[in-house]
Each structure stands twice: as structure tokens, then as C-alpha cells.
Structure 1
Amino acid sequence: MFSAVDVIRAKRDGGELTTAQIDWVIDAYTKGVVADEQMSALAMAILLNGANDREIADWTAAMIASGERLDLSGVGKPTVDKHSTGGVGDKITLPLAPLVAAFGVAVPQLSGRGLGHTGGTLDKLESIPGWRANLSNAEFIARLSDPGAVVCAAGDDLAPADRRLYALRDVTGTVESIPLIASSIMSKKIAEGTDALVLDVKVGSGAFMKDAEQARRLAETMVRLGDAHGVRCTALLTDMDTPLGRTAGNALEVTESLEVLAGGGPADVVELTVALAREMLALAGKPDADPAAALADGRAMDAWRAMISAQGGDVDAKLPVAPESEEVRAESDGVVARMDAYAVGVAAWRLGAGRARKSDPVSAGAGVEILKTVGETVSAGEPLLRLHTEDVSTFAAARTTLDGAIDIGGSTAKRQLIMARIGG
């Protein structure tokens, strides 16, 4: 029998927690034996003193063991998932899941909702009339067999310890701990039962990780965790100083994703979608597959229509459009040298596209449309952004957020979207 206070003291004093201590504290916290204030103290001790690879692997295993681990062996196809650490305009899951499924690979994509300046995949898809996020485990597995891709909310029985700890970290200043971030992400992904996983770790102002070296550490930790638990992993470090694509907002991002699936769309969204698809297909045993060709010839769009229809979505319905819009115009001639992703994300949130608390509603049509992005020439008075909202009173706060967020100069360096590859 262990004591929560003894476990806290061990980590507070820079010690190494044993496997038995970790198993006990996670199980006891899940059952309510360890109180929130005790787990808060332990989380802070981990943030301040770190954890080694063995401790992180044990912590992850204990969180997986707190719930069920899905068995996808009956799907009859290789399974591979993608996880992004989140950013502004990051709609990649929408075109990516059906694109990979078009090659006969099953994509089990358990996704979340937006909070603050980062958008949520489920919020985006719920702007499609009829589409539903909540599926039973049986429905989830059935959709993996046919049509081959499913995007839905995680069930309550997957890593329930993580659900409790995630909420606690958010209010105790311990979100930034790499051991806790890595174990949180990977416990859910491993419990999901996928054979392989590709990680998109964002770096920059609009990302959770602002520093490239910290992002690399996180990616390396997660790849090691996957390998330790029998899930093959690779990771890409990708730029999030500038918003991804031309939109930030729910229905706006669905529309942009449809452009990509139709063989068009913004170059950066296409580049990252194809790069991640190649990583996923290689892990699924299809290294010679050509995802760019499947975007061009309509196979990915066919898979999208099947995926959305299978979850009740009306693929032919018109998407919601916000009734009010307003433009942000350039103050001088030149080239867009910088567009702060964080500011654009917060502006979209203030317009109604995001939420401050998980219980808040979101507006399907609200958000920011990017008319001129980094590297493009603009004239004084020309529109840079178009703001969309249901409530005109939100324009003032959005504009204030965007003050100083865009620099116009003489030239700019070419954006390096994919910064590094890790694993494999």
C-alpha cells in the first residue's frame, strides 16, 4: 500500500517513481482515492523535476489500463491514425482521413473539440447538417471496415484517468509538462487500438509548443512511447507561425477542405495533407501509393462522401454562412511579411468560432477568411482578411486582437512548412 503524500514527496525531491507507485497513484486517482489537490501537487512536481523515459512509459501504460483498449484486429485492413497537437486553420484531418482510406487503409480518427484559439475537428464536421460525432464502439469498428475512415469523439471508457488529469492540468498551470503532454496524447491513441500513428507536432506562435527544440523533444518522446507499446510511429514538425490555409473557422474550414478534395485548395494545406498521407500509407505497408493522384482523380472525394454519409451527414447540403462580415484592409503597399497565427486564432474565437469553456456553444459560420497571406503582394486599402460572425458586436474585439498581427514589408523568406521528420 502506498501513500499519495509519499509519492508526491518522492517526485518533489527529484526522485524516480517506481512502476508500482505509478500504477497505484493512477488507479487510486481514477477511483477517487487520491484527491484532486494531491494529483495537482504531483503534476506540478513532474513539471518542475521531469520524468525519465521509463516513468513516462509506465505513466502512459497506467492511464491506458484505467479503461479499455479497443481491438481493431477484426477490421480486416491495416489501421493508421494521425494526431495533430493543434493550431490555427488546421483542418488537415478532414481531407486526410478519406484520402488515406481511398487506398484501402482504415483510419480510426478519435478527435476533439476546440478550446481557446485552436479549432476542434468535431466542431468543424458538426457544421455539416446531420453529421454526428458520437458513435458506439460497435459503430466505430463497423465504419472502419466500410467506408474505411471514421472521425468521432473518444468514448468515456478510453483512458478515463487522462480525462480527469487533463481537466486538472488546465487549471493548475501544469499543461506545459512534456511527460504529461506525451502520456496524455499517447494513452488515448494507444487505447484506440491503431496499428500505427503519424504525429503532426506544430511549432510557432499559433501552436501549443512555441519553441522548436521543445517540440522536437515532445515528438521524440511520443514516438518512443508508441514504439514501446507496439504502435509504429513517425512524426513531422510543422510550422504554425502562420495560419494554415486561408480559413480559420468551422464551416469555412470544411469548405476549404472540399476544395482540397476536389483537386485544388491552398498550396500549404495540400502539401501537408499529401506529406502526412505518405507517412501514413508507408506505415500501412503502401510506400508506393500516390496520394496526390487520389486528390486529382476524385478517389479522395468519393471516400469523403462515403465517410460523411456513414455518420449521418448530408454531403449535398449547403454549409452555414454567417450573416455579418467585415474586412480588415492593408495600411500600406508591400508584401505580407508576417501574419501571427495566434492572433488570427483568437480573432476567430472572439467572432464565435471557438469557446472559452468546453460547455460553450460555437458558431458554425463564424471565423476569419485570409485574403492575403505571407509572401503575397498587397496594395494600401486592399482587403487582407474578411471577418465572419453572427453578432456584429464581436467585430471590435476581433479587430483589437488583430492590431499589430500583420506586418507588410519589402520581402519575406519562403515558409518552410515541414521542418523535420522524426522516427521510422
Structure 2
Amino acid sequence: MPTYSAVDVVTAKRDCRELTGEQIDWVVGAYTRGEVAEEQMAALAMAILLNGMDGRETARWTQAMIDSGERLELGDVGRPLVDKHSTGGVGDKITLPLAPLVAACGAAVPQLSGRGLGHTGGTLDKLESIPGWRASLSVEEITAQLASIGAVICATTPALAPADRKLYALRDVTGTVESVPLIASSIMSKKIAEGTGGLVLDVKVGTGAFMKTRARAGELADAMTAIGAAHGLPTTALLTDMSRPLGRAVGNALEVAESVEVLRGGGPADVVELTVALAREMLALAGITGVDPARVLAAGEAYPVWEAMIAAQGGDPSAALPVARHVETVVAERDGVFTGADALAVGTAAWRLGAGRARKEDAVQAAAGVRLLVEPGDPVKPGTPLAELHTDTPDRIPSARAALEGAALLITNDPGDRVARTLVLDTLRPA
């Protein structure tokens, strides 16, 4: 591969010029090897944030990220492979019931997941609240579990797209996280390297999402589906509402308990609705017809798959989940109708209670979080319990309460349209 000047690559993008494929290959590879300085890649990331990359550049950048490491060679596990990725939200526990459900319907789900940061929760943090469960598996363990059970949720392997891990850390401290081409290539490089046969994207929109507006979420969904098409990976994207939390539980063990309710045929209606909607798209990409995931979920037929999946990774699915040492209730202060909780406010409260982390190296409390006690449309009066705050450190309660002040838990005498909620806002399917 020819050697380029990092300064020339930076100035090309600074001056709004397209990067050649060779320039992209070189700069991503050289940065991964430590031959491009952090400040040079920071400057390039900022130039990309400000001036963008077109579809060709983004697809090539994604390929260079994939080529920085190894691909996951899963081989034939006896079922079609299909995966899902969410851009993150509040109470977004959907992976937990979804993977067993899709496996119960006949596909194999290699769900390589991450940890939470800030107000958005992480799938691995949730599952680590289950006694004994482990996130790190070898490729051989992943393959065996997919063949025998059909579902695995685990941490990504270190060899998968190492350029992404290094670049993400840099973007996090240089104000360049918001770049759509860099977000899209970060997500898609790992999913393509994972070796799945189809991918469904859950792109969140709203106050509790990374993308606050439908236009920005649509831009990201378009970029990721285009990358999927360029790399031969059938990719469907759903734009889904994240103006309110999903379900009633926000926090690690709290969300596991709610997921188990869903897997047993109950649980909040919105969690069930989105789980089934995503399952249908995954089954369509896997080529599985004649199976109704709504029926399978309602009948509790996915729950044995959950038990087997947790047990295979060292967890005890029947063990009691951690319980917070301190629980405090937030009550209504006036008469009216509860019309919904703001996702960002509830996520921030859960984070302040200990459910999330400010830095990647921070620990989380398994039992911390927020549990909503009322549904949109419920009448309330002064003293009606609205939410519970769960934490092991009661000195965190005041800051969590502060996050829920104002209109975070909205009570009105004129609920209007705020009670109604459309979960799936749009769907982009492969041509």
C-alpha cells in the first residue's frame, strides 16, 4: 500500500475534497498501527464532521475499518443468521426478549452488544445483573451456542474492527461523535465483520435518542442501509420513537425483570409491540415464513430459549435479581392526567442513581434505576405515586429528583395528542 501524508489527507477533507479509496485505506490502517498521530486523526474527524463524506467514501471507510481486524467466521450453524442493532435509548431492553424470540422462530441471532454510556443503557450491563452471567465468549463458544440454542448475546471480540474501538474513543473526547458517516461506519463495520446474513436497525428518534429529530435519524438510517447494500448485507431500518422510555423499567436489573415478563407472555404493550415489529423484519430477512412472532411471544414459547441462553453463559435464570437498598417514591403534586415521561429526563435520573456511567471505565449499580408506576392516560391526584427511584447510594436521590422536575413527568388537564404514541415512525427495506 502506498504511503500518504496525514496532513495531505486532513487538508483534502478540510477543503471539501473527496478522499480517494487509497487515502482512506492508508489513513485508517496507519492510525490503527499508531503511525498517524491522535491529533492528526482528531483533525480529520472534525473535517469529516463539518464537511461530510459521500456514499462511496463512507462505504470505503467502513471497509477499511473491517480490514483493520478479523472477521468472525461462524460457519454453518444450521439456521439463517440475522442480527439487530439499536442506536440506543432509555428503557431499551428490546434485545433481551428479541434474540430468544427470533431464535424460537427458527433463526440464529449472534447479538454482539455493548455497554451503556450517559443516559442510554447498555445490554451487557443489564445482563450482568444476572448472577453468574458472563459477557466474554470465544468464537467457538458463540458458534456452538448458536447451533444448539439459536441465540447469543455477548461482548464483541477484541479482534473485530479494532480501528473502530480506537477511533470511537478519540471521537468521544474531541466533539466529533455526531458525524453521521462516522456513526454509520462505526456501527456497520462491526456488524459486517460479525458475519451475519441480515441486519435490522432500530434507529431511535426523540429526546432520549442520540438523534433528536426525524430528519437526522433518517439521514443515519439512509447511510447505514446504503453501507449494507454496498457490502452485500441485506439491511432494514426502522425509525422508532424515543420521546418516552420503553416500558416502565429503566435500569439494569429492573429491565431484565421486565424483559422476563415479556418473554412469559406479559409485559408492557410498547415493549411487546416493538419486539414483535423487529422480529418480523428479522424473520423476513432470514427467509422464514409462516411463523407469527406475536403468537410465539404471547404463548411464552421464547422463554425456554432465554433460560437456555442465560444458562449457557454461566447465568442462573431462576436466581433472584439484585434489589436496591434504597427506594424512594416520586408522587404527583396536583390533579390531572398523566400524559407521559420525558425519555431524556428519566434516563438522566437513572444514570444519576447509578444505573449508567459517565466514563467507560466507571462501574454501574445493578439494582439502580427508575420504575414508572403510571401509564399515559391514567388520572392522578396529589400523592399518587408516579415513579420509584432505586439506588444503593441514597445521596444520589436529590440529583435524580432534580432531573424529573418540571415537565419530565407531565400531568395536564388537557392530554391532547401526547397520550397517543406511534412507535414505528418509518421503515426502510432493501430494494
Range of TM-score over shorter length: over 0.9
Preserved CA contact (<8 Å) 2:264 2:297: yes
C-alpha root-mean-square deviation of aligned residues, in Å? Answer: 0.9
Q: Secondary structure at the match of 2:85?
A: strand
How far off its partner does 1:280 sit?
0.4
Q: Secondary structure at the match of 2:386?
A: strand
Say if 2:410 is the partner of 1:407: yes
How far off its partner does 1:373 sit?
3.4
Unaligned 5+ residue runs, structure 1? none
Deviations 1:269-293 (A, max 9, x none): 0000000000001111113320111
Aligned pairs, number:
424
Preserved CA contact (<8 Å) 2:106 2:288: no
Q: 1:227 aligns with which of 226, 229, 233?
A: 229
How far off its partner does 1:262 sit?
0.7
Question: In structure 2, what residue type is equivalent to 1:287?
Answer: T
Deviations 1:308-347 (A, max 9, x none): 1110110110000001101111111112234211110010
How far off its partner does 1:376 sit?
2.6
Aligned positions of 1:364-375 closer than 5 A: 364-375=366-377
**Structure 1, 402-411 or 6-15: larger mean CA deviation:** 402-411
Aligned positions of 1:22-421 closer than 5 A: 22-404=24-406, 405-409=408-412, 410-413=414-417, 414-421=420-427
How far off its partner does 1:380 sit?
1.9
Q: Distance in 1 between matches of 2:379 and 2:273?
A: 22
* Greater than 6 Å deviation, 4+ residue runs: none
Q: Distance in 2 between matches of 1:4 and 1:57?
A: 20
Preserved CA contact (<8 Å) 2:354 2:391: yes
Q: Distance in 1 between matches of 2:51 and 2:320?
A: 52
How far off its partner does 1:297 sit?
2.1
Question: In structure 2, what residue type is equivalent to 1:402?
Answer: L
Q: Distance in 2 between matches of 1:376 and 1:219?
A: 34
How far off its partner does 1:214 sit?
0.6
Q: Distance in 1 between matches of 2:56 and 2:368?
A: 45
Q: Secondary structure at the match of 1:51?
A: coil
Preserved CA contact (<8 Å) 2:263 2:300: yes
Preserved CA contact (<8 Å) 1:278 1:287: no
Q: Secondary structure at the match of 1:73?
A: coil
Q: Distance in 1 between matches of 2:198 and 2:369?
A: 33
Deviations 1:324-375 (A, max 9, x none): 1011111111122342111100100111111111111111111000011333
Preserved CA contact (<8 Å) 1:336 1:412: no
Q: Distance in 2 between matches of 1:241 and 1:131?
A: 31
Unaligned 5+ residue runs, structure 2? none
Specify the alignment match of 2:7 in structure 1. Answer: 5
How far off its partner does 1:378 sit?
1.7
Deviations 1:185-227 (A, max 9, x none): 0000000000000000000000000010110110011011112
How far off its partner does 1:76 sit?
2.1
TM-score where L is the length of structure 2: 0.97
Q: Distance in 2 between matches of 1:5 and 1:81?
A: 38
**Structure 1, 158-167 or 349-358: larger mean CA deviation:** 349-358
Preserved CA contact (<8 Å) 1:335 1:412: no
Q: Distance in 2 between matches of 1:184 and 1:114?
A: 16
Question: In structure 2, what residue type is equivalent to 1:408?
Answer: I
Q: Secondary structure at the match of 1:352?
A: helix
Preserved CA contact (<8 Å) 1:334 1:379: yes
Preserved CA contact (<8 Å) 2:74 2:139: no
Q: Secondary structure at the match of 1:75?
A: coil
**Structure 1, 366-375 or 202-211: larger mean CA deviation:** 366-375
Preserved CA contact (<8 Å) 2:80 2:197: yes
Q: Distance in 2 between matches of 1:181 and 1:5?
A: 23
Preserved CA contact (<8 Å) 1:40 1:169: yes
Q: Distance in 2 between matches of 1:377 and 1:11?
A: 56
